[in-house]
């Protein structure tokens, strides 16, 4: 087997083809495992030879990293965490000893913003960048993207690799690219103006952004369904595209279908978890591109299909800064689904719906913010945004208050009679209790109370003192 694989630069399937790579996408899973093992063997061997970090990291590994015999042996290599990357990059700035190519061969430098600690740096070589484009084009083909489409990338162009990854995939596929960006003052108004004139057929951003775009368009007198021409949207960065009520809301608002995507920036090609044009929520795991294991959050041991756990990701064709068995810290459930697309990949059936660190425990019950979002968006009076306020009094359990906006029609009467909203509040409280199994406090707020975002919404307000 040739490793790293070489792909033809000009290939695109015929327009009526479902698959970019029929053989890889419809392989029987057992056969795919052999293909993945062959790639991982080379990947791990390569990293072990070329990276001082992995030489040290695998020093006491119970298996031989230079010659893995099975996926079971692979699963005995230690798990890599964000902390490991931070520490290594601090000691050996800027890339750590992860870099397996000479620094002058780096084609792109990306990284995390470092909002929760020291930023991490990714050096990506030219050949890797081309393979990222190839992988994303292949996955976007499955999402329904075709060369005649115009893709509006409505996410910030910065260190953040999400927008660039979307762009390079759409470019490789041969679509018309409209790298609009986001985040500047007044840019969402301009996005409305531009998309009602250029009429892009596809949008990339976050689910929050799509909802904000619709709200802005309505304020400007446009109808998102009539005046835009979106055929589909693909999203990353937030769980919304697999939250059923959010998904339906976006689809109905724009009259299009939506596709959930995204693993982590560190794992670019981050589209390796992605829905297809048929899948109604959830993401297929394109295992031959980035290999995903599901592990138990405590024991870190592998979990069979059907179980909920933490996805652990591995590059299979990365030469510049390979990430092997990278702990995502996310929570998801995987299983086989009978998708009309016919792909034989396992699927994160409800997308990525939480983070191990963000898990809210209320009276012994695990509560995921995405579940609360689903309930709220199913309520007729819901005003579009919400916040989750977490508090803990000394020696007490966590207390969760859901602050939910309600539509102005419902709120207007409050000035005359504050108790008029009580039945609405009770309805919200009841629906949340049924969905998450415990009672939480609900406060109602007028629509527009909470800031809208062009990027990822920050909905948890943690007032706990630890």
Residues that bind Zn ion (CB under 5 A): 276, 278-279, 339, 341
Q: How many residues would you count in the chain?
A: 466
Nearer to Zn ion, 279 or 404 (CB): 279
Q: How far is the CB of 142 from Zn ion (least distance, A)?
A: 7
Q: Three-state DSSP class for 401?
A: strand
- Separation CA 449–CA 305 (nearest Å): 42
Nearer to Zn ion, 277 or 456 (CB): 277
- Which DSSP helix (H) or strand (E) runs through 113? none
Interacting residues of 49 by C-beta distance below 8 A, sequence separation 6+: 66
Q: How far is the CB of 411 from Zn ion (least distance, A)?
A: 41
Q: How far is the CB of 278 from Zn ion (least distance, A)?
A: 5
Structure tokens given for 219: 């304020």
Interacting residues of 107 by C-beta distance below 8 A, sequence separation 6+: 124, 125, 126, 128, 129
Nearer to Zn ion, 32 or 387 (CB): 32
Q: How far is the CB of 340 from Zn ion (least distance, A)?
A: 7
Nearer to Zn ion, 140 or 279 (CB): 279
* DSSP bridge partners of 123: 109
Token pair 């929760």 is at which residue?
116
- Separation CA 448–CA 306 (nearest Å): 40
Q: How far is the CB of 288 from Zn ion (least distance, A)?
A: 15
Q: How far is the CB of 271 from Zn ion (least distance, A)?
A: 14
Phi and psi angles of residue 358, each rounded to the nearest 5 degrees, phi first: -90, 0
Q: How far is the CB of 347 from Zn ion (least distance, A)?
A: 8
- 313: left (phi > 0), else alpha (psi -120 to 50), else beta? beta
Residue (of 261, 230, 464) closest to 347 by Cα position: 261
Chain centroid to CA 292: 14
Q: How far is the CB of 24 from Zn ion (least distance, A)?
A: 14
Nearer to Zn ion, 225 or 278 (CB): 278
Nearer to Zn ion, 25 or 149 (CB): 25
Q: Three-state DSSP class for 353?
A: strand
- Which DSSP helix (H) or strand (E) runs through 385? strand 382-392
Nearer to Zn ion, 285 or 375 (CB): 285
Q: How far is the CB of 284 from Zn ion (least distance, A)?
A: 6
Nearer to Zn ion, 180 or 232 (CB): 232
Q: Three-state DSSP class for 94?
A: coil
Q: Is the peptide bond before 119 cis (omega within 30 degrees of 0)?
A: no
- Separation CA 285–CA 90 (nearest Å): 32
Nearer to Zn ion, 201 or 274 (CB): 274
């Amino acid at each position: 087997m040739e490793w790293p694989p070489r792909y033809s630069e000009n290939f695109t399937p015929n327009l009526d083809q479902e698959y970019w790579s029929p053989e890889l996408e419809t392989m029987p899973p057992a056969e795919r495992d052999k293909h993945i093992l062959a790639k991982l063997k080379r990947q791990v061997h390569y990293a072990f030879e070329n990276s001082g970090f992995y030489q040290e990291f695998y020093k006491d590994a119970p298996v031989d990293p230079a010659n893995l015999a099975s996926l079971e042996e692979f699963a005995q290599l230690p798990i890599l965490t964000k902390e490991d990357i931070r520490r290594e990059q601090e000691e050996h700035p800027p890339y750590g000893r992860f870099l397996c190519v000479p620094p002058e061969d780096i084609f792109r430098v990306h990284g995390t913003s470092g909002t929760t600690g020291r930023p991490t740096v990714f050096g990506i070589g030219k050949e890797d960048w081309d393979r990222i484009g190839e992988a994303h084009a292949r996955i976007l083909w499955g999402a329904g993207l075709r060369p005649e489409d115009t893709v509006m990338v409505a996410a910030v162009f910065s260190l953040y690799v999400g927008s660039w990854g979307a762009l390079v995939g759409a470019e490789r596929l041969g679509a018309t690219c409209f790298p609009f960006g986001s985040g500047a003052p007044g840019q969402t108004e301009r996005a409305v103006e531009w998309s009602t004139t250029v009429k892009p057929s596809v949008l990339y951003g976050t689910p929050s952004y799509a909802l904000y775009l619709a709200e802005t368009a309505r304020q400007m007198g446009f109808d998102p369904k009539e005046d835009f021409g979106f055929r589909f949207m693909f999203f990353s960065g937030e769980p919304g595209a697999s939250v059923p009520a959010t998904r339906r809301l976006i689809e109905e608002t724009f009259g299009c279908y939506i596709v959930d995507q995204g693993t982590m920036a560190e794992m670019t090609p981050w589209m390796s978890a992605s829905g297809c044009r048929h899948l109604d929520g959830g993401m297929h795991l394109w295992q031959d591109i980035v290999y995903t294991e599901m592990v138990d959050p405590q024991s870190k041991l592998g979990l069979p299909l059907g179980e909920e756990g933490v996805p652990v990701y591995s590059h299979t064709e990365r030469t510049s800064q390979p990430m092997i068995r990278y702990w995502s810290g996310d929570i998801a459930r995987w299983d086989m689904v009978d998708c009309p697309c016919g792909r034989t990949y396992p699927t994160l059936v409800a997308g990525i719906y939480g983070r191990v660190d963000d898990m809210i425990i209320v009276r012994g019950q695990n509560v995921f913010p995405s579940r609360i979002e689903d309930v709220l968006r199913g309520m007729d009076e819901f005003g579009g945004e919400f916040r989750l306020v977490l508090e803990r009094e000394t020696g007490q359990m966590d207390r969760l208050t859901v602050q939910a906006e309600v539509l102005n029609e419902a709120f207007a009467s409050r000035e005359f009679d504050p108790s008029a909203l009580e039945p609405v509040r009770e309805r919200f409280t009841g629906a949340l209790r049924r969905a998450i199994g415990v009672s939480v406090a609900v406060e109602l707020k007028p629509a527009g109370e909470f800031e809208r975002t062009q990027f990822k919404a920050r909905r948890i307000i943690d007032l706990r003192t630890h």
